[in-house]
């Protein structure tokens, strides 16, 4: 996790820093298959979270949709989309640093923990964390990252009103 935090911290030296980084590691040997960063802004793709990108790159590299035998490390607890992707990929384990609550201090989050997503699935995946939480959370609180958050459409200060359900959808015809 320390190496992943250091890899992710390199983005703080760029014009588009991100606190979200992930790596896919062989569970038994510990060999790093690859690392990826969040690329939502760079790719204009709301699904380009670091975890999803790492899983996509790993399955392509291995030419296999299954990542059984691998562990996903991530600097922040996976959101429900990312955790679902990890489950569908068959990862053995997910290990995270900062928590959803940590990330939510700076940008909007879906408040469903990775453990809950895993528990509601019939697919097996161990979820461990937070691990090196302070080191990973430091990626969020770096001065350059705090400045960058101001331009993010999902920044905490730019909260949108909660979605509402149209009651007429549920009226009997």
* pLDDT exceeds 50 at position 72: yes
pLDDT > 90: percent of the chain: 87
For residue 84, the tally of other CB atoms under 10 A from its CB is: 18
77 is a catalytic site residue: no
Residue 159's pLDDT is: 46
Contacts of 89 by beta carbon, 8 Å cutoff, 6+ apart: 55, 58, 59, 65, 66, 67
| pTM for this entry | 0.89
Average pLDDT over every residue of 26-33 = 98
Q: Which of 51, 101, 116, 134 is catalytic?
A: 51
Q: Which of 59, 77, 63 is nearest to 19 (CA)?
A: 77
* pLDDT exceeds 80 at position 110: yes
At 76, is the secondary structure helix, strand, or coil?
Answer: strand
Dump pLDDT digits (tens) for 92-105: 999 999 999 999 99
Residue 158's pLDDT is: 46
pLDDT > 70: percent of the chain: 90
């Amino acid at each position: 996790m320390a190496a992943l935090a250091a890899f992710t911290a390199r983005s703080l030296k760029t014009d588009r820093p991100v606190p979200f980084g992930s790596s896919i590691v062989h569970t038994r040997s510990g060999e790093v298959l690859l690392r990826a960063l969040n690329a939502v802004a760079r790719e204009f793709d709301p699904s380009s979270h670091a975890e999803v990108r790492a899983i996509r790159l790993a399955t392509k590299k291995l030419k296999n949709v299954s990542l059984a035998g691998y562990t996903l490390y991530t600097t922040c607890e996976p959101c429900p989309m990312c955790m679902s992707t990890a489950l569908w990929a068959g990862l053995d384990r997910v290990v995270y640093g900062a928590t959803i609550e940590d990330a939510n201090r700076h940008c909007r989050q879906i408040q469903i923990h990775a453990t809950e997503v895993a528990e509601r699935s019939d697919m097996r995946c161990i979820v461990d964390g937070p691990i090196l939480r302070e080191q990973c959370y430091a990626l969020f609180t770096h001065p350059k990252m705090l400045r960058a958050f101001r331009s993010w459409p999902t920044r905490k200060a730019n909260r949108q009103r909660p979605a509402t359900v149209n009651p007429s959808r549920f009226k009997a015809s």
